Structure 1
Amino acid sequence: MPEATESNSRKLLRRLRDTLAETGEGQDRLDRITHLIADSMGTEVCSIYLFRDKDTLELCATEGLKAESVHQTRLRKGEGLVGRVAKTSNAVNTADAPSEKGFRYMPETGEEIYSSFLGVPIQRLGDGLGVLVVQSKTGRQFSDDEVYALEVVAMVLAEMTELGAFTGEGEALKPLHQNPAMIRGGVGQEGVATGHVWLHEPRVVVTNPVADDPHLELRRLNEAVDALRVSVDDMLAKNNTGDKEQMQVLEAYRMFANSKGWMRRMEEDISRGLSAEAAVEKEQSQARARMEQVPDPYLRERLHDLDDLSNRLLRILSGQGAETGAEMPADPILVARNIGPGELLEYGRSLKGIVLEEGSVGSHAAIVARALAIPLIIHAEKITTEALNGDTILVDGEQGVVHLRPDDSVSAAFLDKMAMRTKAMERYDSIRERPAITKDGTRVKLTMNAGLMADLPSLAGSGAEGVGLFRTELQFLIRNQMPRRGELAAIYGRVMDAAGDKPVVFRTLDIGSDKVLPYMKPQDEPNPALGWRAIRVALDLPGIMKMQLQALIRAANGRPLSIMFPFIAQATEFLAARDHVMRAIEREDRLGHPLPSDLKIGTMLETPSIAFAARQFFELTDFVSIGGNDLKQFFFAADRENERVRRRYDTLNISFLRFLEQIAERCADTNTPLSFCGEDAGRPIEAVTLAAIGIHSLSMRPASIGPVKHLLLRTDLAELKQVIVEAGNDGRMSARSSVMEYLAQNNQA
């Protein structure tokens, strides 16, 4: 049995490259490869298992096992030793396979006579593609060099699998990136769109994993690393704002770029036969595998830095970066693992849709996507691996579904759906100027949510009666440093100019929880949604609040001004915040600046506690706006960022509706104007129900105003209120079915 020395490793890779270069079908290539590996490593068996779906492995080629088991033997991820390798992404090396925990005997393969087992994952950048196995009759542990050699071969197989070198018969050998694919995710922003894929960070395709000249590859690597270090130094110089915390993060980034251990490992990979690109990707894959297993958020972030540096280095080596001149399609749908708000704003309204592997309904990207009215799908698993630039893609933001390379029947059905939406929008346009007066004569005020200047053109076109919520935090989130008072005053002034005589309610800075400023020290809190956020931050950092309030007063320049404080949990917080406003007014008056002609100071009701505040609180606050998203998650103790639980609780739950009705009654009793702001305000069924229980002002995204108004115009709220009462009297958990049945019977749904 030859020892797998470095020269043998290089020899095996060279033979593998030559085999891959030969013509032939995918199955023939796999068969030749298993024979080659078994021969080179002196084993009786070599087998290649590839995933046929995300949970099932299929035996696609073997040297030594029974030929009839190919494409017939299948294993679930985690099943047997092969399944364990696939599940853990770690090698299994044993001299006595049958005695290993979890061993599964597969009689159709004839493997019972083989004792030794070495299995390594076939993976690319953390994405598992299959398992490579060698087996011997002789009971022995494989050496470290043999394990390394097999891991390197598995990596080359992963690259070739991604490049489509092994297409053929069997489900696992279907061509990648050619067949239609449907991917389910979560809804970040509703809407539908059709277009072509534009990858935010296109994956670098390593077409030369095996190299003949290690000296040339080492020189290429060193030149690329030098260029990388210069670019990192330039980035530090440009972002040297004096912020200590930010500089510590950037210095850690530079430390990784100068890591001798990282460089040494890549040089060793090259000496064993890999190209410079393959060496970088091998270390990147291992970093990603470690990242998945590290619980410490700080260490995970540092490994993410290393991952990002590897991407930069690969782009330098391969020349496959943005500078190669790839042209964005005319109808781009952005596909990315994740994306920051600043990067997303750079794309602007040119995007038709956004699909993310990660993200959340409250992430910065989701906030910007809603502001730009761009359909957004989140948690679209493996979308960046499956999609290629230019692929046809359909985004269904109503159902949370993405169709890649759809067939004609799917495309036709999708286009029909889009046509129906267009027709409905035309119908809504005809009622744009009509007030939302229900059949029983109730006037419902419909306003829009905004957060960017780009939102304001929608004010006239949507039929909104004003801006019920302007999110001021977006101006803080999209910058690398704290904005200046003058900048904010100019922005707020332009918002008021664009709104004209329509009212605008400015919500003060709402940060914390899922909205973390890039230039503020992150707070490692076990439960950020219940932690240091919104008004709590503002009261603890009064300088920020003072600056923002002064900017708002100066922006008003003698016009009416409405200010709303977020996340008030007790009356004393509102009193303290209100006191800040009055002191700012006094200061501006002393300076001779124009004061607002009318000043209203209101409260967002997002915590159940403030709903039970003393009557004096409701008499003192100028208005109350129910923040439905947060109030709902606290009422049901269901994190709205947690996909497992957030959809389990219905807004039309009888208990929740009774709670909202109590709030409406308290506000009516003190003549305190009440509105509802949140996703549910823009859903027609929910909107008419909220109106029926006494909430007659709703704030929503601009695109929702037409559908909501259309249903309100045809609904008798008094009758609907009785339906809700009867559902509660009947002991129903939710009023939804009763409401929908009533609307359908009255030809309204």
Structure 2
Amino acid sequence: MPYRGESESRKLLKRLHETFAEKSDGQARLDMVTGLIAESMETEVCSIYLFRDDDTLELCATHGLNAEAVHQTRLKLGEGLVGRVALTGDIINAADAPSQKGFRYMAETGEEVFSSFLGVPLQRQGDKLGVLVVQSREARSYSEDEVYGIQVVAMLISEMTELGAFLGEGAAMAQRHTQQVLIRGTSVQEGLADGHVLLHEPRVVVTNLVNDDPEKERARLEAAVDQLRINVDSMLAKTQVGKEDREVLETYRMFARSRSWVKRMCESIELGLSAEAAVDKEHSTARARLESTPDPYIRERMQDLDDLARRLLRILTGQGSDTGAEIPVNPVLVARNIGPGELMEYGRRLKGIVLEQGSVGSHAAIVARALAIPLVIRAKGIVTEALNGDHIMVDGEQGSVHLRPGDAVRTAFHDSLAMKAKAQERFVGLRDLPAETTCGQIIELHMNAGLIADLPSIDSSGAEGVGLFRTELQFLASRSVPKRGDLARVYSRIMDAAHGKPVLFRTLDIGSDKVLPYMKRPEEPNPALGWRAIRVGLDKRGVMRMQLQALIRAAAGRPLWVMFPFVAQIEEFDQARDILNAELANEHRLGHSLPERVQVGAMIETPSIAFAPDRFFKEADFLSIGGNDLKQFFFAADRENERVRRRYDTLSTAFLEFVCQISKRAQDAGTPLSFCGEDAGRPLEALAIAACGVRKLSMRPTSIGPVKHLLRQANLDDVRAQLDAARAAGESNMRTALTQYIGPLDR
């Protein structure tokens, strides 16, 4: 018998809502829900399958199938019709279920007598929770009204699942947001953080799910949509972007003004949902549609949909327009992703950062390194699992995140923190001592920086200067190209804060995964090998000239060090140096104060420049090996690709031999050479690089103590002899040999 339309739908929703309000355990509620749905739809079977884990669905309640199958029948994601609904997010409406592709007969359920099948996903805000199924003996397709009605019911069940309505004694499903969770991601910035969750975009909790007055709810929705549109128009009016980006923002505005979007939400209100629940239902349904499309552009629009739905829900619920919560003690930021400007607004208050997305070289990673904040990316599910204020422990060394940790985890974590603190204490006494090895070699230890806030570390860490200042952060954090005067003031303050110690300014290094928000991003199959760094500067000379002018004016009679990134051939270095010389001549003509002296260098980040003519090594005032990129290209291993990036070791004899060759060429030319990158701050790797003849290392300020501690105990002649012996013996890696060598030293 067909489903009886709006009034029956509203009646069912109210009965379900009353059921949720009753004092009973989760399993009893689930059982009552399936019975009510089957009765209302006049169908023989109603079943609810919920996820046990990311890949497994479990039959948690049924009316009409064998009761013994409850909590016994399980399906893998994609298995059978139920698994297919869960995997794709699509509705399956089949008159003859056994004839459907992928059908799986589960004998223990007794479902062989039922022909028709209607499966609807249980999902909320992009999170898959399970599947709602109705079946009947009669071979028939369910009507459009019935399908829509069951979708509305599925929305209500999803909300109640999220709110924990099916928990309690006797329920098989563990309560969400209460149990301890371990999530493994990718380490980007090392360090340990113990604190409390600060959600960048907290989930809006919807508690009023069923409406008593459709007219009132529709009016609330329409008023909220009007406010949303005003807010969007105001936001876009303040945003200055190029033509292409303007088109993207107009698409965002189009979403907000979609009549069909509002119409579908009003239809859900007519069927009995509250305005908030209607928004949530439409968001989940539309998101499932977008996720299944093969068009990457349309899939990217999911972010627009997510953002608009969150904004509309915040207006309806009044749960805040920004973070929605006060910043907790020792905040650890949790987000799907975040831009550099937003991250810098949080600043050093953060103890750690955990992202569901992100990349090793992303804007967030750059800022996190600059702020020395532990960062873990690709932590799948963290946004769904975490609540504001939850206890969280972040291990930036292992790339693991402990959410609501138990006593054993807390104890082990605090032991690690105590050991690190104790280790740091023994390095304090070394701060003013040179990094002089037992064989009499002195290694200069410099720090990397990217913000003026980093500069106090130059004294506290004992750094002898700034071996790499990343100038792109000022560009990445701005909505438009920074003004020359503003940059000059920033650079001048940086030099002031260095107290006369050298600061090596790397010119703008953008491209690849570092894209300016106001610059058109070219479509490139491999951005890491594409239009980036000095290539952008030489093509966009106005930007390069403006930055060089700012650096010259900032120096104002002081020494100036300028370093060009990603030089792949000598002609690029020649052109960049010529532009700098032209700007120096122009500043002189204008009567501006020139630097006391100008040192011009380049980064060796591509194998090609390591084999450049001798003239390059002689004419550069200084050179710096960019270890991260050079290793990536040496091993042909994308450092964004977790499958390959950890396979290749800096302590490979082949890579160390390459570093030795570069070092010898620099020594023969009489040109100072440094090594920048994460490996410079790892004691074992730093020791091997120094043994190759590199006499200057640049690293995070916190790494200077441990590196200096080891260097002061080591004999570089012995280490070089070990490297030569390993290479002669055909060994491919030095890690084991060097670990054994430093064993007696590092105490």
TM-score normalised over the length of structure 1:
0.97
Q: Which residue of 2 aligns with 1:334?
A: 333
Amino acid at match of 1:35: G
Which digits, 9 at most, give the CA deviation of each residue in 1:119-153, with x for residues without a partner? 12111111111111112222222222222222222
Question: Which residue does 1:748 correspond to in 2?
Answer: 746
Task: Please state how far the C-alpha of 1:323 moved relative to its aligned partner.
Answer: 6.8
Q: Deviations over 1:269-295 (max 9, x none)?
A: 222222111111122223332443345
For residues 4 and 598 of structure 1, the distance between their equivalents in structure 2, rounded to whole angstroms, comes to: 86
User: Residue 7 of structure 1 aligns with which residue?
Assistant: 7
Further displaced range: 636-645 or 451-460: 636-645
Residue in structure 2 matched with residue 220 of structure 1 by the alignment? 220
Partner of residue 611, structure 1:
610
Change (3 A) 1:439 1:296: farther
| Displacement after TM superposition at 1:227 (Å) | 0.9
Pair 609,731 (structure 1): closer, same or farther in 2 beyond 3 Å: same
Moved more, 207-216 or 299-308: 299-308
Alpha-carbon offset, residue 704 of structure 1: 1.1
Deviation digits for residues 477-516 of structure 1 (CA, Å, limit 9, x no counterpart): 0011111110000000000000012100000001111111
Work out whether 1:39 is the aligned partner of 2:39: yes
Change (3 A) 1:324 1:212: farther
Q: Which runs of 5+ in 2 are unaligned?
A: none
C-alpha separation in 2, matches of 1:96 and 1:390: 50
Indicate the larger mover: 350-359 or 133-142: 133-142
Once the two structures are TM-superposed, the CA of residue 112 in structure 1 deviates from its matched residue by 2.0
> 1:731: how far off?
2.7
CA contact (8 A) 1:4 1:149 kept: no
2:117/2:135 contact within 8 Å kept: yes
**Structure 1: how far apart are the matches of 2:655 and 2:391?**
43
The residue type paired with residue 488 of structure 1 is L
The alignment partner of 1:644 has SS state of: helix
* Aligned counterpart, 2:118: 118
151-160 or 465-474, which deviates more: 151-160
1:74 equivalenced with 2:64 (yes/no):
no
- Partner secondary structure for residue 377 of structure 1: strand
- Correspondence list, 1:479-498, <5 A: 479-498=478-497
* 1:441 Cα deviation from its structure 2 partner: 1.7
Shift of 1:5: 2.4
Separation in structure 2 between the aligned mates of residue 88 and residue 456 of structure 1, nearest angstrom: 51
Question: Which AA in structure 1 matches 2:83?
Answer: G
The 3 A distance-change label for structure 1 pair 414 and 522 is: same
Quote the Cα distance in structure 1 between the aligned partners of 2:514 and 2:691: 33
What percent identity do the matched residue pairs reach?
Answer: 66
Corresponding position of 1:445: 444
Shift of 1:374: 1.0
Instruction: Write the distance in 1 (CA, Å) between the matches of 2:211 and 2:322.
Output: 26
Q: Point out the more displaced range, 649-658 or 174-183.
A: 649-658
Structure 2 residue aligned with 1:27: 27
Deviation per CA, 1:358-410: give whole Å up to 9, x if none: 11111111111111111111111111111111111111111111111111121
Moved more, 62-71 or 580-589: 62-71
1:551-570 alignment runs, 5 A limit: 551-570=550-569
1:267 aligns with 2:266: yes
How far apart are the structure 1 equivalents of 2:141 and 2:472? Answer: 59
- Contact 1:715 1:748 survives alignment (8 Å): no
Q: More displaced, 291-300 or 109-118?
A: 291-300
Assess, with a 3 A threshold, how the Cα gap between structure 1 residues 328 and 508 changes in structure 2: closer, same or farther: same
Q: 3-state SS of the aligned residue for 2:432?
A: coil
CA deviation map 1:15-61 (0-9, x unaligned): 22122122200000000011111112222211111111111111111
Deviation string 1:170-221 (CA, Å, 9 cap, x unpaired) is 7851111111111111112111111111111110011122212111111001
In structure 2, what is the equivalent of residue 321 of structure 1?
320
1:342-421 aligned at under 5 Å gives the runs 342-421=341-420
Q: Partners in 1 of 2:324 and 2:639 — Cα distance?
A: 40
Preserved CA contact (<8 Å) 1:53 1:172? no
What is the TM-score when the length of structure 2 is the normalising length?
A: 0.97
Aligned partners of 1:287 and 1:307 also within 8 Å? no
Could you tell me how far 1:742 is from its partner in structure 2?
Answer: 2.1
Contact 1:186 1:380 in 2 (8 A): yes
2:97 aligns to what? Answer: 97
Between the aligned partners of 1:27 and 1:552, the Cα distance in structure 2 is 68
1:135 aligned partner: 135
Check 1:613–1:521 CA distance in 2 against 1; reply closer, same or farther (3 A cut).
same
**Matched length:** 747
Q: 1:557 to 1:383 in 2, by over 3 A?
A: same
Are 1:49 and 2:60 matched, yes or no?
Answer: no
Q: Which amino acid aligns with 1:663?
A: I
Corresponding residue of 2:526: 527
Identify unmatched segments of 5+ residues in structure 1. Answer: none
More displaced 10-residue stretch of structure 1: 368-377 or 141-150: 141-150
Which residue does 1:258 correspond to in 2?
257
What is the CA distance between 1:730 and its match in structure 2? Answer: 3.0
Q: What is the RMSD of the two structures over their aligned residues, measured on CA atoms?
A: 1.7
CA contact (8 A) 2:438 2:713 kept: yes
Paired letter, 1:308 = D
What is the aligned partner in structure 1 of residue 466 from structure 2? 467
1:721 aligns with 2:720: yes
Question: 2:691 matched to 1:692?
Answer: yes
CA–CA distance in 2 between the matches of 1:455 and 1:242?
A: 30
Q: Could you give the per-residue CA deviations for residues 414-469 of structure 1, whole angstroms, max 9, x where no partner exists? A: 11111111111111111111111112222111111111011111111111110000
What CA distance in whole angstroms lies between the structure 2 residues aligned with 1:503 and 1:184?
40
Cα drift, residue 116 of structure 1: 1.6
- Comparing 297-306 with 419-428, which one deviates more in the overlay? 297-306
Matched, 1:277 2:258: no
In structure 1, distance between residues paired with 2:337 and 2:298: 19
Aligned counterparts of 2:691 and 2:466: Cα–Cα separation in 1: 22
> How far is 1:246 from its partner?
4.2
Equivalent-residue separation in structure 2 for 1:657 and 1:171 (angstroms): 59
Return the alpha-carbon distance in structure 1 between the equivalents of residues 624 and 443 of structure 2. Answer: 15
Residue 648 of structure 1 is matched in structure 2 by 647
CA shift for structure 1 position 353:
1.0
Equivalent positions of 1:698-709 (< 5 A) are: 698-709=697-708
Would you say the 8 A contact 1:291–1:304 is kept in 2?
no
CA 1:732 to 1:138, structure 2 compared with 1: closer, same or farther past 3 Å?
farther
CA drift of 1:584 comes to 0.5
CA drift at 1:324: 9.5
- Tell me, yes or no, if the aligned pair for 1:50 and 1:172 is still in contact at 8 Å: no
C-alpha contact 2:27 2:172 (8 A) present in aligned 1: no
Letter in 2 for 1:536: R
Please tell me the residue identity of whatever aligns with 1:675.
Answer: S
Distance 1:532 1:636 in 2: 21
CA contact (8 A) 1:728 1:735 kept: no
The CA distance in 2 between the partners of 1:139 and 1:439, in whole Å, is 87
Q: Which residue of 1 aligns with 2:592?
A: 593
Deviates more, 1:206-215 or 1:100-109: 100-109
Q: CA deviation at 1:341?
A: 0.8
Aligned partner of residue 130 in structure 1, secondary structure: strand
Cα distance change, pair 516–323 in 1 and its aligned pair in 2 (3 A): closer
**Structure-1 residue corresponding to 2:88:** 88
Q: Which stretch shifts more, 500-509 or 295-304?
A: 295-304
Deviation at 1:303, TM superposition (A): 3.2
Offset, 1:296 = 4.2
